Amino acid sequence: MKEKLYEKLESSYEEMVSIRRYLHQHPELSFQEENTARYIKTYYEKLEIEVKGNVGGNGVVAKIYGRKPGKTVAVRADFDALPIQDEKDVPYKSLVPGVMHACGHDGHTATLLVLAKCLHELREELEGNYVMIHQHAEEYAPGGAIKMIEDGCLEGVDVIFGTHLWATEPTGTIQYRVGPIMAAADRFEIVILGQGGHGAQPHKTKDAIVTASQLVLNLQQIISRKVNPIDSAVITVGSFVAENAFNVIADKAKLIGTVRTFNEEVRSFIEAEIERVVKGTCYTTNSSYEYTYERGYPAVVNHPDETRLLIDCAKQVPEVKEITETEAQMSGEDFAYYLQHVKGTFFFTGAKPSNAIETYPHHHPKFDIDEKAMLIAAKTLGTAAIDYQSIQKNSEPAIEKTV
């Protein structure tokens, strides 16, 4: 069965590339992916595969029914782009000014569409059912996953698999991790309210810039002196704004930043501790403040059995040359929500461009992938979906016959 799937995927590789390049030329931002969603839905309709659009927004869900009994396996791909100007010199460069697929979601979509087509062609031999989840708005919290789940995309699903094409790792590499693999990603905003005045008379003011500067340093002590070193965490101030003239002491300064954690207790502690530090810092300068903390995606936590299954499946894919356990990544992913509802695993598929002089990271204006990685991703996901069926069947207790 898997050999037949591999053959079909290989014969459809050029179609996979064509789909990816079309999507790369026509990117759409999070929550605005109407044309992309329509493209995906039309693809399934032409194949006469059951499909539903507008799932939780712009999401699309297709279902393939094997002729033999079995479990229901879900595979997910995202399809939104980023507000970045494409600077690559390639024929498939984005045609939309200021918008590009700079994270590989076009490749994820092409991978899943062609995998679905090949599974559909093998449906007479398949065990169980297969749910293809095409998710919108992964890049922008609150994301599309949570709304798609609320709209029923996981109903009846027993397990879910997902991958991210990872352009900083060589093609042929599969990276996995049991437990937390990607961090919870939160956002905070702090406004320091002081009292402005003349730059030559600081004693008559409450300098918001000085207070905010002290605060940036004080916040770092939460990680270095308040969080157990065993529990990884990050506090980053990414924006510091206080607009005034050179000879005016600012009465207001705004800090915007992010918190990344893996442990929910640490996450809650940092949320409260930031405000305690803000309050104390402002007390020393007799200033006031405004503080907001927005929780983003939770941590992506892989389930052990499903991750071990993924490792075994990756070993069967001829193009996979190396399988390694990766360090947990501080970047976020709303695949986390699926894993809170059903068992499954999320992994990285190496997609480093082999002919590139320089490799560009995700979210870079010159980001690109090795398109051969899509074929590896499709084979690995397909193998996991098929093998899960046989493992579950063999693990079910035998029914004793009575005489």
Q: What are phi and psi of 306, to 5 degrees?
A: -70, -30
Domain with CATH 3.30.70.360 in the chain: 184-294
Neighbours of 167 (CB within 10 A): 26
pLDDT value at residue 398: 46
The pTM is what? 0.93
Identify the CA nearest to 347 among candidates 75, 27, 2: 75
At 285-329, the pLDDT tens digits run: 999 999 999 999 999 999 999 999 999 999 999 999 999 999 999
Q: How many CA atoms lie within 13 A of 7 on its CB side?
A: 6
pLDDT tens digit string along 116-171? 999 999 999 999 999 999 999 999 999 999 999 999 999 999 999 999 999 999 99
Q: Which fold, 184-294? A: Alpha-Beta Plaits (3.30.70)
pLDDT at 237: 98
**What's residue 357's pLDDT?**
74
Burial class (CB in 10 A: 0-12, 13-18, 19+), 193: middle
- The Cβ-side half-sphere exposure at 20, using a 13 Å CA radius, reads 26
Q: Where in the sequence numbering do the catalytic residues fall? A: 80, 138
Residue count (the chain): 403
Q: Which CATH architecture has domain 2-182+299-395?
A: 3-Layer(aba) Sandwich (3.40)
Q: Is 139 annotated as a binding residue?
A: yes
SS3 of the chain: the string is CHHHHHHHHHHCHHHHHHHHHHHHHCCCECCCCHHHHHHHHHHHHHCCCEEEEEECCCEEEEEEECCEEEEEEEEEEECCEECCCCCCCCCCCCCCCCCECCCCHHHHHHHHHHHHHHHHHCCCCCEEEEEEEEECCCCCCCCCHHHHHHCCCCCCCCEEEEEEEEEEEECCEEEECCEEEECEEEEEEEEEECECEECCCHHHCECHHHHHHHHHHHHHHHHHHCCCCCCCEEEEEEEEECCCCCCEECCEEEEEEEEEECCHHHHHHHHHHHHHHHHHHHHHCCCEEEEEEECCCCCEEECHHHHHHHHHHHHHCCCCCEEEECCCECCCCCCHHHHHHCEEEEEEEEEECCCCCCCCCCCCCCCCCCCHHHHHHHHHHHHHHHHHHHHHHHHCCCCCCCC
Residue 397 has what pLDDT? 55
Determine the straight-line distance between the first and last CA of the chain, rounded to whole angstroms: 37
| Predicted local distance difference test score (pLDDT) of residue 396 | 62
Consult the annotation and say whether 363 binds a ligand. yes
Q: Where in the chain is the domain with CATH 3.40.630.10?
A: 2-182+299-395
Which pLDDT belongs to residue 244? 80
Half-sphere exposure of 18 (CA within 13 A, CB side): 5
- Residue-level pLDDT, tens digit, the chain, 403 residues: 899 999 999 999 999 999 999 999 999 999 999 999 999 999 999 999 999 999 999 999 999 999 999 999 999 999 999 999 999 999 999 999 999 999 999 999 999 999 999 999 999 999 999 999 999 999 999 999 999 999 999 999 999 999 999 999 999 999 999 999 999 999 999 999 999 999 999 999 999 999 999 999 999 999 999 999 999 999 999 999 998 889 999 999 999 999 999 999 999 999 999 999 999 999 999 999 999 999 999 999 999 999 999 999 999 999 999 999 999 999 999 999 999 999 999 999 999 998 777 889 999 999 999 999 999 999 999 999 999 998 887 776 544 444 3
Distance CA 11, CA 165 (A): 21
Which one, of 97, 73, 93, 69, lies nearest residue 83 by Cα? 97
Token pair of 137 as six digits: 């708005």
Per-residue pLDDT, 160:
98
Round to whole Å and give the CA distance between 340 and 224.
Answer: 30
